Amino acid sequence: MSTSVNLGGAPDFQNATRIQQALTAAIERRALKWLAERTPQQVGPDHLTLLGLAAQFFAGVSYALAGWNKYSLLMATFWIAVNWLGDSLDGTLARFRQQQRPRYGFYVDHMVDTFGSAFLMLGLAMSGYLHWQVALAMLVAFLVLSVETYLAAYTVADFRLSHGRFGPTEIRLLLMVGNVALLFRPFANLFGYRYLLFDVGGVIASVGMIGMGIVATVQHTRRLYAEERLP
């Protein structure tokens, strides 16, 4: 299905401008175009969306199993890579084949992201490599930022695929690198105290996402207030 946020096709919907400024955006676009051109015809965008969801579920399962066998972290890394393929290629393939269903794609793709993120955070919380409180904080921060992004797509017609120089692909890469690091050094020493490595990363990620959500909320509130000022 398409991840395009062209919300046309229904009255009162406005096309949203896709904003992608992440570090990997340029190389990712080229890679996805190359993959879309070579995807077998029998594989459609919906198949890729389901693949992305299944991969995120199995990544969560792999994290949970890592509590018993640390090498399950490598399996989690594999499934995160598969999730990138399904989640990123579905929209590109739909646009390449001129099979876009804007409202359907936008809605289903992002609900899949929501459920998939819950699976992933649950697995991390069960892994022993991350306290459940930090996993919950990351999930809440992700949902807050997501809600702001989706509301902005509808109200100001800007759909941010990235915030600053970070987007979903950068987050996946950090997770994958972190998984490998956990095999050798699951703890970090800060200010004379010992913490779980993923706890440190999770707190930083949570604060960063909430901060980006607050900044975006203030910016969009001011913009909408100015554009809809009462007489």
* Mean pLDDT confidence for 18-36: 89
Q: What is the pLDDT of residues 166-203, one digit of tens each?
A: 888 999 999 999 999 999 999 999 888 999 999 999 99
Contacts of 208 (CB under 8 A, 6+ apart): 166
The pLDDT value given to residue 2: 40
If one counts the domains in the chain, the total is 1
Is the pLDDT at 7 greater than 50, yes or no?
no
Is the pLDDT at 107 greater than 80, yes or no?
yes
The pLDDT value given to residue 3: 43
Query: What is the CATH number for 147?
Result: 1.20.120.1760
Q: pTM score, two decimals? A: 0.88
Q: What is the DSSP letter of 197?
A: H
β-strand pairing of 193-196 with 158-160: unpaired
> Is 10 a member of any domain?
no
- pLDDT above 70 covers a percentage of the chain that reads 94
The pLDDT value given to residue 4: 42
> Is 1 a member of any domain?
no
The pLDDT value given to residue 230: 87
> Is 4 a member of any domain?
no
Task: Report the half-sphere exposure of 132 (CA within 13 A, side-chain side).
Answer: 5
Q: How confident is the model at residue 12 (pLDDT cuts 50, 70, 90)?
A: low
Q: How confident is the model at residue 19 (pLDDT cuts 50, 70, 90)?
A: confident
Secondary structure of residue 4 in the 3-state scheme? coil
Is the pLDDT at 218 greater than 80, yes or no?
yes
Considering only residues 187 and 160, tell me which one the structure prediction assigns the higher pLDDT: 187
- Cα distances (Å, whole numbers) of residue 114 to 6, 82, 104: 20, 17, 15
> Is 9 a member of any domain?
no
> Is 2 a member of any domain?
no
> Is 114 a member of any domain?
yes
Stated as kind and residue range, the H or E segment containing 19 is strand 17-19
Taken in order 122, 123, 124, 129, is the CA torsion positive or negative? positive
Q: What is the pLDDT of residues 50-101, one digit of tens each?
A: 999 999 999 999 999 999 999 999 999 999 999 999 999 999 999 999 998 8
Q: What is the pLDDT of residues 35-46, one digit of tens each?
A: 999 999 999 999
Of 11-15, 159-163, 167-171, 203-207, minimum mean pLDDT range: 11-15
Tell me which long-range contacts 196-201 makes (C-beta under 8 A, separation of at least 24). Answer: 196/129, 196/130, 196/131, 197/129, 198/124, 198/129, 198/130, 198/134, 199/130, 199/131, 199/134, 201/174
pLDDT, averaged across the chain: 90
| Encoded tokens for 135 | 């996993």
> Is 47 a member of any domain?
yes
Q: How confident is the model at residue 123 (pLDDT cuts 50, 70, 90)?
A: very high
> Is 102 a member of any domain?
yes
Give CA–CA dist 198/205, Å, rounded.
Answer: 10
**Domain range enclosing 55:** 17-227
